[in-house]
Amino acid sequence: MPGRYQFILEAIAISSVIVVVDLLFALLILIGLAGASLFLVVSNALTIEFGAMLIIGGCLMARQPLVDEKRYDSAGKPTAAWRFALLGKQVLLSSIFLLLFGLLFALAQVGLGI
């Protein structure tokens, strides 16, 4: 599989794991508070996590070397700054999918009228 598609699928997988954790968290809240809306709790949690991931991803991407020669050391291995920038890129893309999942849960709540 080409690298670009693998990169996108990894971001979707990361976002899906976060959504599953939030769903389990919301189910625990639903057991304790019978009046809470599952979709509302999940969409609110995903919105907060989206903001946190944007901040973290932006901070990591700020370390990106602008010159290609500074991305790799003399042995040809990626430098720490370049690895952090790639991680930040992954976090930013995952945050976009996280926002889309949150929007899906918010629309499900509105559509179901809960």
Statement: residue 84 has pLDDT above 90? yes
Statement: residue 113 has pLDDT above 80? no
Statement: residue 19 has pLDDT above 90? yes
Q: Any idea what DSSP says for residue 45? A: H
Model confidence at 1, in pLDDT bands (50, 70, 90)? low
Q: Where are the domains of the chain?
A: 3-112
pLDDT in tens, 28-39: 888 888 777 888
Q: Which residue has the higher pLDDT, 38 or 11?
A: 11
Exposed/middle/buried for residue 49 (C-beta within 10 Å: 0-12, 13-18, 19+): buried
Query: Are 18 and 49 within 8 A, CB to CB?
Result: yes
pLDDT in tens, 25-68: 988 888 888 777 888 889 999 999 999 999 999 999 998 888 88
Query: Are 87 and 62 within 8 A, CB to CB?
Result: no
